[in-house]
Structure 1
């Protein structure tokens, strides 16, 4: 009897030891959390609600990622900071990516955050600008960005307005104040989903004409950009990021208020009600119009047409290559690798 008890005791100790070993193995096998320095295109706003929702609802955490949004000093800085190694992923604009690559910066767009142009012609009713043709004889304020001046030139040509009949003034990023103070009759550069919604909520009844509805080739307003070396070497990591970001945007689509709460909690200077209205306006632009395409889809042909327009307007020294973008890290693309751990 004593011998039997001793044997049972040894067996119990062995089982406990095995259980303890199992617990230890589980802890060791857990993938390490990777920090992602995400450089925003500028100050946090409605365009970024899906990012903050993916942080708040745990989409990034479940992917093994700790995402830290960073604010650049100005909208021209993200790609330079990315190239200098001060960010892992940057949000920028399709034209900025093409300009940067034309100057030799080795960056590539891996997905569209906002599918279509937000940049718009905007005017208050007193300016009597209801169509692009009404810009004849008017003063138009821009942010001083070269390709926005080219937008204006194209829009005037497409609508039969002599360029000499329009005065362009650089108002920097003070686009709305320029209209309110009547320094400009209209502006080109404000976003229909941000400044446009703000003016609508203030009952100023702005006229808003997105540039791709006025003669400019369509493009992705905001894109996710990485260094070329990372695009080649860190596929699972990038897939995990984009997949989690897509989940955050799906959650935002189902419950915009939750995404706004997450955004405002980290950026208390934002007005919650205005931000919610802006997010609701932006939601369709986060997703491809072709419902068979995944979140982040980039149309290679559209990039080609826009690139040729930039070349024709002497914004680029040479025609951009198709390697300016890739869709291989989007959800459902490269399925055999989609479930791999980040690296």
Structure 2
């Protein structure tokens, strides 16, 4: 595991979804070193991001079997959430809507022509441009249409998050997510 608070919940959900018993898995904390730990066979499996470490492993020719939490063990959920306090949303709704619109427009532009965005990411992160492009291509289907929240998916995610201990209690979807802001065009 990487050592993130959600790792145990993710591991348990994936193992149980595949018919295993999570308590029989021996874990070790490897931080964000899943790629070298798997390449050198220091570990047999790792909790990692399929669109980052999974792509990096494929690029290095390492054959893996991915259990994607949103496909195999849990409901789909929003990968990226913009956070704002309720008071700020009430006070500055136009600014929040403008920020969401900017994310939507930027995502649409990157989907239309990813080269400028990918070059900026590679430059800012000193990452290999080929790897950045491969990671983008991996997540590209999830980006269209940009900026969306599906209430049923959020309800299922909330149940999952409470059941597996990611959250202490189930959030109220209407209070936790500004569905109207995400839906605005």
2:50 is matched with 192
Q: What is the total number of aligned residue pairs between the two structures?
A: 184
Q: Which has the higher helix share?
A: 2
CA 1:268–1:311 in structure 2 vs 1: closer, same or farther (change >3 Å)?
closer
* TM score, norm. by length of structure 1: 0.50
Contact 1:144 1:172 in 2 (8 A): yes
- The alignment status of 1:211 with 2:69, answered yes or no, reads yes
Q: Which has the higher contact order (CA 8 A, sep 6+)?
A: 1
Unpaired runs of 5+ in structure 2? none
The alignment's C-alpha RMSD in Å is 2.0
Identify the match of residue 110 of structure 2 among 245, 252, 263.
Answer: 252
Q: Which has the higher strand share?
A: 1
Moved over 4 A (4+): none
1:280 is matched with 137
Identify the match of residue 27 of structure 2 among 157, 168, 175.
Answer: 168
The residue correspondences of 1:89-168 to structure 2 (distance < 5 A) are 142-168=1-27
CA offset digits 1:245-303 (Å, max 9, x no partner):
211111111111122123234x1612112112211222111224xxxxxx311122222
CA 1:234–1:256 in structure 2 vs 1: closer, same or farther (change >3 Å)?
same
CA offset digits 1:119-167 (Å, max 9, x no partner):
xxxxxxxxxxxxxxxxxxxxxxx11223221122122222221334321
Q: CA deviation at 1:225?
A: 0.9
* TM score, norm. by length of structure 2: 0.88
1:324 is matched with 176
Unpaired runs of 5+ in structure 1? 1-141, 289-294, 336-343
CA 1:280–1:318 in structure 2 vs 1: closer, same or farther (change >3 Å)?
closer
Secondary structure of 1:225's aligned partner: coil
1:7 is matched with none
Contact 2:55 2:135 in 1 (8 A): yes
